Amino acid sequence: MIETPLDRAIAKRDEIELELRKCPDFQLYLITKSRRQRARMEQLLMKIPNFKLWRTLATSVARAQRGLAVSMKSAADRVHPSDLRTRAVTWPPATEAIAPEGGSQ
């Protein structure tokens, strides 16, 4: 499987998050629902270098995943139903692989 920059960013974000979860302030940050409270906590937690890196990675990953989802949806919208029909294979190497010379075995 090919590892993409997005895969590496997700892995690094998850690695940092595991370390940050040991901190009670970070756990409180994760369960906070209020946008105002969460923003205030972010300002305090930004003093922790790992939190700053985690926040940057989390934001970048979320943005990349949204962009990927949008591009996949737009690609799916461009597919015409007639393109989904099964067509006969006529390319010579493919037909030879299906039925080798010398008859069936």
Domain count, the chain: 1
Domain assignment of residue 57, yes or no = yes
Domain assignment of residue 55, yes or no = yes
| Alpha carbon separation from 53 to 47, 73, 95 (Å, rounded) | 11, 30, 53
Domain assignment of residue 97, yes or no = no
User: What is the arithmetic mean of pLDDT over 91-102?
Assistant: 58
Q: What is the pLDDT of residues 28-84, one digit of tens each?
A: 999 999 999 999 999 999 999 999 999 999 999 999 999 887 777 776 667 666 666
pLDDT for residue 2: 78
Q: Among residues 12, 3, 5, 2, which one has the least CA distance to residue 65?
A: 5
Domain residues for the domain of 19 are: 12-69
Confidence of residue 85 (pLDDT cuts 50, 70, 90): low
pLDDT for residue 100: 57
